[in-house]
Amino acid sequence: MKKAENATMRNNVHGFTLIEMLVVLIILSILATIAIPSYRQYAVRNAENDVQAKMLQLEIELERWRAKSLTYQGFQPRIIDSSNNTVTYGYADSPATNKTIYVPDGSDASNYRYKITLVDGDAPANSLVNTAVNATGRTWKMIAEPEDSGITTYASRMMMNSAGLRCKNTSKSTFDETNADCDTGQEEW
């Protein structure tokens, strides 16, 4: 009786054929070729939207500062520590140059997606904190540069200034705070 049961069990054992495995692999590879570029595009768009929102927030903070002080000189951006919900004021590179703000909030030089450089619009070598130079603080300029490794390698560089310029450049063109606009290939945002 045991021999008959073993023979019956052997006939009921099913597995995957090579053809079935190949069909599954083909379907998975097709899904991966669609999903990975879509995810990359979504992640880049999300990082760009985050930095645009941060730049607009900084613009509002700058205008509030100017309304109280009648100058942008001495401006310190608001920094929110998401771990304990505390608010402080300053720059990520303070007191070295007082120009750098990392996005997203809570990130630093080791884990940011975008780095915003905020400088005096007339003298880009100066930060807005510089109170030793009387001319500092009449205008401002922000440059947002994506982290050049990881998913944001494909993201746009952006610029914004106190005169109302908002531009971005998706090419690998290099522009910095000394440029008047986003260089060849720019588009508004």
For 73-126, how does the pLDDT look when each residue is reduced to its tens digit (9 = 90+)? 989 888 777 677 777 787 877 776 788 999 988 888 888 999 999 999 888 888
* Whole-prediction pTM: 0.77
79 domain-assigned? yes
Average pLDDT, the chain: 84
In a domain? residue 11: no
Q: What is the pLDDT of residue 2?
A: 58
Let me know if residue 107 belongs to a domain. Answer: yes
Closest by CA position to 162, among listed 50, 73, 46: 73
- Does residue 162 surpass a pLDDT of 70? yes
Hey, what are 112's tokens? Answer: 């940011």
Q: What is the pLDDT of residues 31-46, one digit of tens each?
A: 888 888 888 889 999 9
Q: How many domains does the chain have?
A: 1
* Phi-psi group of 59: left, alpha or beta (phi > 0 → left; psi -120 to 50 → alpha; rest → beta): alpha
DSSP 30-80: HHHHHHHHHHHHHHHHHHHHHHHHHHHHHHHHHHHHHHHHSSSTT---EEE
Domain CATH number, residue 135: 3.30.700
| pLDDT score for 180 | 78
Percent of the chain whose predicted confidence (pLDDT) is above 70: 89
Q: What CA–CA distance (Å, rounded) separates 93 from 99?
A: 7
Distance CA 160, CA 50 (A): 15
In a domain, 2, yes or no: no
Say what the pLDDT of residue 87 is: 76
Residue 62 has pLDDT above 60, yes or no: yes
Q: Can the peptide bond before residue 95 be classed as cis, meaning omega within 30 degrees of 0?
A: yes
> Does a structural domain hold residue 14?
no
Q: Which domain holds residue 28?
A: 21-188
Residue 5, pLDDT score? 58
The answer to whether residue 178 sits within a structural domain is yes
Residue 78, in any domain of the structure: yes
Q: Is the dihedral of CA 53, 59, 63, 65 positive or negative?
A: positive
Q: How confident is the model at residue 58 (pLDDT cuts 50, 70, 90)?
A: very high
Residue 179: pLDDT band (50, 70, 90) is: confident
CB 159 within 8 A of CB 181: yes
- Asked if residue 9 belongs to a domain, the reply is no
